[in-house]
Structure 1
Amino acid sequence: MNQIVWQRLARMKINLGSWRNHALTKLSGDRDEISIAVNALLKKSLNKDQVWMLTNLDHELKNEQIIELENQLKRLINNEPLHYILEEAAFFGRIFRVSPDVLIPRPETELLVETVIDWAQQKSHSDEIKLLDIGTGSGCIPISILKAIPGSKGIGVDISYKALKVAQINAKELGVEELLLIQSDLISGLKSKFNVITANLPYIPTDELRKLRVAKFEPELALDGGETGLLYYERLFLTLNKILDGSALCIFEFHHDQGERIRYLAKKLIKSKSINILQDYAGFDRFIKIEV
């Protein structure tokens, strides 16, 4: 934003309702999604809830708020994900910090967390969970599990130091002290054993990734799964058995068209009691559940 525009904005008097209408005219796409995004920007900037905003459309915005909102609007117009602009995302009933160094948590991944919690409760393991989350990113998976299961402890590993810093912030802000964060390429260097292992590793085939809009903003390191999309899962499965402790659960997220291939790899490389493919909310194959 050039100096002239900055000066003009600083002199303008704009209320909430007029800026909202201005923003809506600048954005294209689904009107409901656009409205949600604009409201989210205003809510964060004003630190007010939706009801307050709807009943205070004539509230005059401060100059610094207008400048901040205009910068954020420009980022939205450029198709940058709203969660990166807000620097936060909701997951499993909590707000997590996010940055372009981590993948934005997806709603379907909450099913992975639910599956672990259900398993722990049914198997009476709730007081002895030793969790490993591989490719932990923002830490949303292990933090959500540890918050839900008293007495559990966990390790989150990621090859990205910057991602681990985000996870560290989330663990601190959400009051999770039982999570150790380690920089590691998959499970290299780990000597402990675990009875719950989770992962949402990069699973998008390289050629397909180039066609996706999210690839422009989300970290390629967290998306690119190699030629088949299963490069990292195959590497993991080759050594997974050595870190499993007795009766254990492994649950991993994958691309919706990879179910049969990842099942084949798991049966070939992992000594297991059962292997099942689970569906997401939309009915697509999304997780492989392995019990040993």
Structure 2
Amino acid sequence: MLSKRVKEQILYCNRPQYTLSVLQSDLTRRSFDNAGEQILGRKAFIHTDETGLVWLPKDLLAPQLVDFFIKNPSKFYSAVESRMIEYCRTSELVRAAEISRNTSVTAQMKALRGLAYAYIGLLKYVIIGNLLIEEVIGRFQQLLAEFVPNELAVQHLDSLLRCDAVARAIDLQFFEDIRGTKRIEDVTSAPVHIFGDTRIVHSVPTDDNVNSFLLQAKGCISRYAPLRFIVPVVYQMAEEWRYADYSLRTHLRYYLDSLQAQLGIQKNLYAMTFSELEAEFITYECRAN
């Protein structure tokens, strides 16, 4: 993990291996600008640098954020609900974008704008999904290891880590290596898979057996219960984002490459900010009219 001082605050980056194009960095910055207030209900200074790295304050790092959600579960489920609403909106935008393929330049520009705003709207929710997954599962495994026999603990975790998005991906023959790249310009064509139907896992077959061991230890249930419900939700959100992220980037690349070819733009569109990109399109629209 890297750290640096920005505007008198110490910020941290836990994914320094991912560097992005200027365009994707700009979309990332726009998404995270108000992420703290929109997701957690409080302001947080989040910095995205010129390479696309996201720098978070200490209270938004995984250990601190998991502590916060354990103490404030309503904040967690409120953020999950907001995310599901955003996924519904994004699905509509992506369906509209699919229809606009091979249509007029104006329609394609509109589709690209919609996709960009969909990406901005969804990306910030990695704060409660992908960025928490290792921390929350690690804590859960450690707690189970203290009180539950290993074989039962493994069965219990396996029964909780299920995601409808993965099953749906298999139906769609979504076989791309979605973990291998983060940049828009590196993706290849893949089926659209925007699935945000995250659900709370109320019960699994192993619950009663696990609870029987936990009830023998004083205070254990109070430590276990919040994690029991958070773990499967975080896992689902992390998996859902992997597919949604790849799907959105596939569409963004298609329209960027298509419009660049049709408009004869010589500049590297990936080396522009989103505002600069829109200015290019506005220039074209003015000429066309």
For the criterion TM > 0.5, the same-fold answer is: no
Q: Which has the higher helix share?
A: 2
Normalization by structure 1: what TM-score? 0.24
Normalization by structure 2: what TM-score? 0.25
Higher relative contact order (CA 8 A, sep 6+): 2
Q: Which has the higher strand share?
A: 1
